[in-house]
Copies of this chain bind each other. A is one copy, B any other.
Amino acid sequence: MAGPTDAARRKHKVTVVGSGNWGTTVAKLVAENTREHPDLFEEDVQMWVYEENVTIAPDSPHYDAALGDEPQKLTKVINTYHENVKYLPKIPLPSNVVANPSLLDAVQDASILIFNLPHEFIGNVCKQIKGHILPYARGVSCIKGVTVTDDKVELICEYISESLGIYCGALSGGNIANEIANELWCETTIAYNTPPCDQRPQNGNGTGTQNGTSNGQQDGHFRDSRGRPSATELTPLPTDYPPLDHAELLKLFDRPYFTVSMVSDVVGVSLAGALKNIVALACGFIEGHGWNMTAKTAVMRRGMLETIQFCQEFFPETIQEMTFWESAGWSDMIVSCTSARNWRYSKMAVERGVSLHEIERTELNGQKLQGISTTKEVMGFLKARGVQGKYRLFQAVEGIVDGTFDVENIPQLFRS
């Protein structure tokens, strides 16, 4: 339907930065779409792979008797067998997913950068690629979470925007990577607040902006998620590229088994994706204590209300309440409180009558549960403003983690 304007001579080059099971899954679906939309995208999708050696098991169809147990480079295995044998085994990848061990080579000339790697690596990756990407590249962050200090809340996509000088949106939803890789249908949400300098006039091809809310002023300075003019002066996407707005992002991410909703509320999507980790801990506590799903829905509900309250209190300029009915809101909350790590281990802690710190030691080799750090950071931010008492569930989760609040008192929080 929508094609490039007559002026478009270049195509978008897409790079996925990261190759874990979620990164590889996203590379797979994006590469299926670049093939289907050759008018908009270059067919090959670069996937940056942190190089490592892998050994192919003898029962694998990719086992080569001549090589035997000899370690092979993961990128070579992916590019030869079109399978990420280490992080997404048994899922055939389209041959246009190109594994690249060089971060700088992978991002070179990419106009679309999809960030999909563990939270803790994003700082270093941004440092490395800064100055080596197209100045008008655009990003989509699949990394959930925010960085909260006593001073401020920083969204991951804002951090990427600021450190690279490019605009970056966020993808988040009630998603389980392996299910999507197996093409079991689900939904997701992409929040992308198209920069004014990228918006093209509507034309007959329907390739113009579909973005309901705009960044407003056309002064060349991008406005951040809080509506403030950013220090970053964005370089506009050249007009000989196809546009890059909600319609094109849908073409890049939406698959028959992966339904994408586009919104503009980057703050709501990002914060819902982060704060739900606190709620997932609470739900694990509740179920570990022996309450059932009716109690869990009460806790999820209260957690969502505190999430909405948090967003409205600290980001009143841009937050849209309907965002929380998106997959990134309601669905991600349910999935995270039913099958994710934070929930599982907090349930286990209460069942065993030990602290979460004890579970981290015994079950996670000392590795930290993300929900705990999110809770601590968010409570620090709230305490610095003296408003922690308005967030009774979040406060109770911190109290349970610290051993100062008893799980069986959770229902009392709900008394009006």
Could you mark each residue 238-265 of chain A with 1 if its beta carbon is under 8 Å from any beta carbon of chain B, else 0? 0000000000001000101101011000
CA–CA, A414 to B250, complex, Å?
13
Q: Does A57 contact B (CB under 8 A)?
A: no
CA–CA, A274 to B335, complex, Å?
25
CA–CA, A261 to B415, complex, Å?
9
Contact across chains for B293 and A339 when beta carbons are under 8 A apart: yes
CA–CA, A254 to B415, complex, Å?
9
Contacts of A295 on B, CB cut-off 8 Å? Answer: 184-186
Q: In the assembled complex, how far is the CB of residue A179 from the closest CB belonging to chain B, in whole angstroms?
A: 6
Q: A174: which of B291, B298, B415 is its contact (CB, 8 Å)?
A: B298
CA–CA, A293 to B340, complex, Å?
12
Q: In the assembled complex, how far is the CB of residue A315 from the closest CB belonging to chain B, in whole angstroms?
A: 18
Contacts of A256 on B, CB cut-off 8 Å? Answer: 411-412
Q: A414: which of B184, B187, B305 is its contact (CB, 8 Å)?
A: B187
Beta-carbon nearest neighbor of A259 in chain B: B414
Residues of A143-191 whose CB lies within 8 A of B: 174-176, 179, 184-187
Q: In the assembled complex, how far is the CB of residue A190 from the closest CB belonging to chain B, in whole angstroms?
A: 12
Q: Does A304 contact B (CB under 8 A)?
A: yes
CA–CA, A254 to B261, complex, Å?
39
CA–CA, A321 to B335, complex, Å?
23
Q: Does A301 contact B (CB under 8 A)?
A: yes
Known interface pairs A179-B292, A293-B339. Does A298 touch B331 (Cβ–Cβ under 8 Å)? Answer: yes
Known interface pairs A293-B339, A330-B301. Does A259 touch B186 (Cβ–Cβ under 8 Å)? Answer: no
Contact across chains for A298 and B187 when beta carbons are under 8 A apart: yes
Contacts of A254 on B, CB cut-off 8 Å? Answer: 415
Contact across chains for B416 and A261 when beta carbons are under 8 A apart: yes
Q: Does A327 contact B (CB under 8 A)?
A: yes
Q: In the assembled complex, how far is the CB of residue A185 from the closest CB belonging to chain B, in whole angstroms?
A: 5
Q: Does A334 contact B (CB under 8 A)?
A: yes
CA–CA, A293 to B297, complex, Å?
15
Contact across chains for A174 and B297 when beta carbons are under 8 A apart: yes
Q: A297: which of B184, B308, B335 is its contact (CB, 8 Å)?
A: B335
Contact across chains for A250 and B416 when beta carbons are under 8 A apart: yes
Beta-carbon nearest neighbor of A187 in chain B: B298
Contacts of A308 on B, CB cut-off 8 Å? Answer: 325
CA–CA, A300 to B329, complex, Å?
12
Q: Does A388 contact B (CB under 8 A)?
A: no
Contacts of A300 on B, CB cut-off 8 Å? Answer: 330-331, 334
Contact across chains for A331 and B179 when beta carbons are under 8 A apart: no
Contacts of A176 on B, CB cut-off 8 Å? Answer: 292, 294
Q: A330: which of B179, B297, B327 is its contact (CB, 8 Å)?
A: B297
Q: Does A338 contact B (CB under 8 A)?
A: yes
Contacts of A291 on B, CB cut-off 8 Å? Answer: 184-185
CA–CA, A297 to B326, complex, Å?
10
CA–CA, A339 to B293, complex, Å?
9
Q: In the assembled complex, how far is the CB of residue A142 from the closest CB belonging to chain B, in whole angstroms?
A: 15
Contact across chains for B293 and A184 when beta carbons are under 8 A apart: no
Contacts of A326 on B, CB cut-off 8 Å? Answer: 301
Q: Could you say which of A250, A327, A334 has the most chain B C-beta atoms within 10 Å of its C-beta?
A: A334
Residues of A367-416 whose CB lies within 8 A of B: 411-412, 414-416
Q: Could you say which of A261, A262, A295, A339 has the most chain B C-beta atoms within 10 Å of its C-beta?
A: A295
Known interface pairs A186-B295, A298-B174, A334-B334. Does A411 touch B257 (Cβ–Cβ under 8 Å)? Answer: yes
Top 4 A-B pairs ranked by shortest CB distance?
A: A186-B294, A297-B331, A187-B298, A259-B414
A-B contact pairs, 15 of them (CB 8 A): A184-B291, A185-B291, A185-B411, A186-B295, A186-B297, A186-B298, A187-B414, A256-B411, A259-B411, A293-B335, A293-B338, A294-B331, A297-B330, A300-B330, A301-B330
Could you list 7 further interchain pairs (A-B, Cβ under 8 angstroms) beyond the known A179-B294, A294-B331, A297-B330? A184-B294, A187-B414, A257-B411, A297-B327, A300-B330, A301-B331, A308-B325
